[in-house]
């Protein structure tokens, strides 16, 4: 158990819909990261927050957004969902940007 929690574990929704994925970092960690893992794209970094502020951006689509709240939990919002958005979404946390990251168990999103 990494100490990072993610909810929900599974999510099935239809194209065009909007979903919110939630992540609680390890106690004391200030950085939160979001990743997307799919068979064709591999593990892709989406976005990083540090203590509530956006710190780095990766291959995140404009339809996707995220935020980190004062209690340090984070949410990833995916809107106008397409079939290609079906993937595993991981959250990770670390003490700071250059420290090792600890991953949550992931949310499996299926868009039908």
Partner 1 sequence: AQSVTQLGSHVSVSEGALVLLRCNYSSSVPPYLFWYVQYPNQGLQLLLKYTSAATLVKGINGFEAEFKKSETSFHLTKPSAHMSDAAEYFCAVFDFGNEKLTFGTGTRLTIIP
Which residues form the interface with partner 1 (CB under 8 A)?
A: 2, 4, 33, 42-43, 45, 48, 55-56, 58, 90, 92, 97-98, 100-106
Residue with Cβ nearer partner 1 (41 or 80)? 41
CA distance linking residue 22 with residue 96, whole number of Å:
20
The DSSP annotation for 40-104 comes to TTEEEEEEEEETTEEEEE-S--TTEEEEE-TTS-EEEEE-S--GGG-EEEEEEEESSTTSPPEE-
Enter the DSSP assignment of 23: E
Minimal distance, residue 80 CB to partner 1, in Å: 25
Q: How buried is 69 (Cβ within 10 angstroms: 0-12 exposed, 13-18 middle, 19+ buried)?
A: exposed
Minimal distance, residue 12 CB to partner 1, in Å: 16
Residue with Cβ nearer partner 1 (58 or 84)? 58
Residue with Cβ nearer partner 1 (52 or 79)? 52
Minimal distance, residue 92 CB to partner 1, in Å: 8
Minimal distance, residue 14 CB to partner 1, in Å: 24
Residue with Cβ nearer partner 1 (37 or 79)? 37
């Amino acid at each position: 158990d990494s100490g990072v929690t993610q909810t929900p574990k599974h999510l099935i929704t239809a194209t065009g819909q909007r979903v919110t994925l939630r992540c609680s970092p390890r106690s004391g960690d200030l950085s939160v990261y979001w990743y997307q893992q799919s068979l064709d794209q591999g593990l892709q970094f989406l976005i990083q927050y540090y203590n509530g502020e956006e710190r780095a951006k990766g291959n995140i689509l404009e339809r996707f957004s995220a935020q980190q709240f004062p209690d340090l939990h984070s949410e990833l919002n995916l809107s106008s969902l397409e079939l290609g958005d079906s993937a595993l979404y991981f959250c990770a946390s670390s003490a700071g940007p250059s420290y090792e990251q600890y991953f949550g168990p992931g949310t499996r999103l299926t868009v039908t």
